Structure 1
Amino acid sequence: MSGPEGLSIVVFAGGYDRVHYALVMASAAAATNRPVTLFFTGRALRALVQEEEPGVLGWHDLDAADDGSRPVERDRFFAAQGLATFEELLEACVALNVTVMACEMGLRALGLPQGKALRPDVPVKTGGVVTFLNDAPKGGAMLFV
């Protein structure tokens, strides 16, 4: 395999397009047999919050997309264009064994109880920055989104 031995992505920004593209990068890297970790913190953690009411997933509350549209509207636009939706990408990441981490400090900063408010269909590991950095593969790439 050429290129970095793995990919570690800090998903900090809470804008829909940024989180969506972090999922694009993670699923593509995992599909090419690279180990991948997504470390969600800050406002991006809302992408992992379970639904509070039926059909309203946490990522619906992400910040507006780059074009100003609401996350659900942007996702529908992507689907109409034949592009992967947020849920499709998240499901691909889970199926491809991408490690999904939620920052303990970020959870507290958003007032979320550790692990309790997170989606049950996504295996999420909680940890801090030290855990994330220690788990990052030597010789791997690290991105901040």
Structure 2
Amino acid sequence: MKNLFAQAHKMTREIVNTYGDVDYKVQFGFCLAYLQKEEEEKMQMTQLKGTEKQVAYAEKCREKMIAKMEKEVKEQQARISRLPEGNAKASRVQKVEILTKAFEKFLETETNAGNIIHWSQFGILAVLENQKYI
């Protein structure tokens, strides 16, 4: 919870510095609510099945996969932002959206801890293609 407040303050400061005329307390409330909702969504991931050790390790692997996916999306968005407006940019945006939705579906439907552990060793795109999510 302490980390959540620190993140909310950081987000609020960035917004205040960017836009200037913003009520800090109100914006802090918005940022905190946003981050809390985000945390709740992470907590509602599919319950994994397997032995206690498998589930514990698979949860760590799943978190690493999520971090990799978030990093990949950020990198793609940075590349997209440098592209001129047009079909190429729209196509890339669409690909990122498809990839993100496929990964979310994968996380929602995969319950086997052993599979998560196995697939965490591969690239996310390879996993999604292999399992017919995209």
TM-score (norm 1): 0.23
> If each structure's strand is expressed as a fraction of its own residues, which one has the higher value?
1
Larger Rg: 2
Greater RCO (Cα-Cα under 8 Å, separation 6 or more): 1
